[in-house]
Structure 1
Amino acid sequence: MKRNTLIHEPLYPPIRPHQWETALFQSKPVRRLKHLAHFGAGSLVTSVVHSRFEHTVGVWKLAAHFFPDDDLLRAAAILHDLGHLPFSHAVEEALEFDHHQITEQYILGEEMTKILGNASIKSTDVVEYLRKPSVLTGRNHVLGIDHLDSFFRDTYMFCNTEVPPHHILPKLTCTEQGIDTDLETGLYLLKLIKQDHELFLSPFLVGVDRLLAEAIKSHWNEQPHHADRQVFAGLTDLDVVAMLQSSSSLRAKRIIRILLYEPDKIHISEQEGYPIRIRKIYAKAPLCNGQLLTEISNDAQELIDSLPDLTFKRYVSINS
């Protein structure tokens, strides 16, 4: 199969896109995802810099691999992350945005509606699909396609995987409930989930997200009241960095300088600075021959039970 170099990522075998899928990938809202770090503000202080675009291609590949004839799922996989803000989740809560609502606005817009219509897919059907539990998100505590790619990709990019994802893929099937596999592979996937939490929800990296959010809030607090905060939702990571570097807020300029050039000055403590915590624990597991893995394996249940132990309440500050 001839590889489409504009729609490519290294974890899974190539998939031949339909013409309408190529059009979606070449649209401006989807191309914008190339400029949003999947790893949030952590991309500023680590070497892990894969984008929301690579993740989107991966989710689409998995959807097409498991359900090649389900055009609605394939469309939803391409469009499911359109509404993410710059640096992904890093500032969404602090600025009171909802990326799900923004995603729906993009999908219902003229550009997406026209491309989907050419494939006889209604944009309203895609929105409705994304609003409900599905094989994309996983149902009833079962691992879904979206997060499967995240756990594969995050740990792979951090060089923390024992087995390349394309070697694991033949051992996986997918039902309407979510990912199904054998016991050994299922336990390996749960270990990846735990590793992903340990890597990317560490106090330091959660603190980096919080500092970026504080820089952006400091910048907006000095803008005129008529400034359109909704414009922020359509920016890229590079736009935000440039905005903060030229901000009238000295605090915003100092924080972005620290994040870019002096991350060693970031300090995590028990009682001083901005409070930080983990936003969400993902406690879903794969199926094993149709049964939830945690219901047939004590080791699997122990892995899931250990995830809440990673939660914390700390503070982040910048040393003088």
Structure 2
Amino acid sequence: MDNPAQLITEPLYPEIKAYPWEAALFQCRPVRRLKHLSHFGGASFLSPVVHSRFEHTVGVWKLTAFYFPNDIELRVAALLHDIGHLPFSHAMEEALAFNHHQLTEMYILEPEISTILQGADLDAQKIISLLNNSSAITGKGNILGLDHLDSFLRDTYMAGECSRLPCDVLRDIKCTPEGIETDLATGNYVMKLILADHKLFLSPIMVAIDRLLAESVKLHWQETTAHNREAFARKTDAEVIAILTTSPSFKARKLIDMLRYEPFKIRINEVETGEGYPISIRKIYQKAPLCEGKILTELSERARQVLEDLKKLAFHFEVVVDLEEELVD
């Protein structure tokens, strides 16, 4: 391609000029694979939030380069931070005993990426160390970082929940090595987006879809000896759907078909009866921006209320589908 920058695009933030090694990394297979992974996991079957891990990655890289233009290692860490994600992102990671952070390390050390880093006189182990420790990308302690900032801005934009364009919000945001810092009004707006995003992707139906996706893969693996865990981790969403739609497991085929075309058959029981699969949220978010050098929750009652409202999203339910006689042992 005459203009590699055409591959490095997303619509929310100002354009950033990539260094040659960044352009090369964006063109390598582990990063390009992110274009074929839904950022919202299985929830993309129902939600209008359908952007990929690639757009999110470009966004986090842009934000990092915007705030830290001369920190080459941090920029590269932002670019590579998500390459270990599984198909449908978090949908299958815990249930199938994967760790995307470990996979990210492994992929960085493989020749396709490590050769590019060596050519730019960058140490792969330093990049891994940045990813394994708190930084502006993750945010230190309870401070919001650039990775989650992009998720909250991008997800709520796609869901129609934001009242300000993300590029406009950036004018009122600074970023220190500890994380995001902003004024009181913008901080409260960001907290509003955090709550809106969590209400969507932690809603019982969205969590249920992720659980049923994981169950369909388990059912498939029970019926075949041909699977390879490491190879599965490198697949795309579409490749997993293709595997499940042609699975030797009748139950796996029925589940993936239902998730794609008949999600109205999913039923949530708020009391566990044992007739379905238990579901619960993964974790409750507790981070906030800095304001005047302090965590926003120390200054704002509205911000403190958001954290209380986030806690209320916790649940322990079960998911049942209309095909439960066939699908649940």
TM-score, with structure 2 as normaliser: 0.95
Alignment-mate amino acid for residue 32 of structure 1: R
Partner of 2:118: 117
Partner of 1:231: 231
CA distance in 1, matches of 2:205, 2:283: 16
Query: Does the 8 A contact of 1:222 with 1:249 survive in 2?
Result: yes
TM-score, with structure 1 as normaliser: 0.97
Partner of 1:189: 190
The reply to whether residue 319 of structure 1 matches residue 322 of structure 2 is yes
CA distance in 1, matches of 2:164, 2:194: 14
Q: Which shows bigger deviation, 214-223 or 296-305?
A: 296-305
Among 297, 300, 310, the alignment partner of 1:297 is 300
Partner of 1:21: 22
CA distance in 1, matches of 2:315, 2:146: 28
Partner of 2:67: 66
What secondary structure does 1:317 align onto? strand
Partner of 1:263: 263
Partner of 1:95: 96
Partner of 1:57: 58
CA distance in 2, matches of 1:233, 1:6: 24
The reply to whether residue 249 of structure 1 matches residue 267 of structure 2 is no
Partner of 1:83: 84
What secondary structure does 2:135 align onto? coil
Partner of 1:152: 153
CA distance in 2, matches of 1:172, 1:40: 28
CA distance in 2, matches of 1:36, 1:49: 10
Alignment-mate amino acid for residue 308 of structure 2: D
Q: CA deviation at 1:233?
A: 0.3
Q: Deviations over 1:21-65 (max 9, x none)?
A: 000000000000000000000112233210000000000000000
CA distance in 1, matches of 2:49, 2:82: 19
Q: CA deviation at 1:90?
A: 0.2
Query: Does the 8 A contact of 2:265 with 2:322 survive in 1?
Result: yes
Report sequence identity in percent.
54
TM superposition outliers: structure 1 runs of 4+ over 6 Å:
none
Alignment-mate amino acid for residue 239 of structure 1: E
Partner of 1:139: 140
Query: Does the 8 A contact of 2:137 with 2:145 survive in 1?
Result: yes
Q: Which shows bigger deviation, 210-219 or 299-308?
A: 299-308
Query: Does the 8 A contact of 1:45 with 1:259 survive in 2?
Result: no
The reply to whether residue 208 of structure 1 matches residue 209 of structure 2 is yes
What secondary structure does 1:4 align onto? helix
Q: Deviations over 1:4-34 (max 9, x none)?
A: 3210001101111111100000000000000
Query: Does the 8 A contact of 1:3 with 1:14 survive in 2?
Result: no
- Gaps of at least 5 residues in structure 1 are none
CA distance in 1, matches of 2:295, 2:206: 31
CA distance in 1, matches of 2:263, 2:301: 40
CA distance in 2, matches of 1:86, 1:24: 20
Q: CA deviation at 1:220?
A: 0.7
Q: Which shows bigger deviation, 266-275 or 77-86?
A: 266-275
Partner of 1:283: 286
CA distance in 1, matches of 2:303, 2:45: 34
Number of residue equivalences: 318
CA distance in 1, matches of 2:233, 2:37: 11
What secondary structure does 1:315 align onto? strand
Q: CA deviation at 1:289?
A: 2.1
- Gaps of at least 5 residues in structure 2 are 324-329
What secondary structure does 1:77 align onto? helix
CA distance in 1, matches of 2:229, 2:113: 24
What secondary structure does 1:310 align onto? coil
Query: Does the 8 A contact of 2:4 with 2:23 survive in 1?
Result: no
Gap change, CA 1:191 and 1:3, over 3 Å in 2: farther
Alignment-mate amino acid for residue 266 of structure 1: I
CA distance in 2, matches of 1:140, 1:290: 14
What secondary structure does 2:188 align onto? helix
CA distance in 1, matches of 2:141, 2:30: 31
Q: CA deviation at 1:3?
A: 9.5
CA distance in 2, matches of 1:35, 1:105: 20
Partner of 2:326: none
CA distance in 2, matches of 1:145, 1:103: 18
Partner of 2:222: 221
What secondary structure does 2:7 align onto? coil
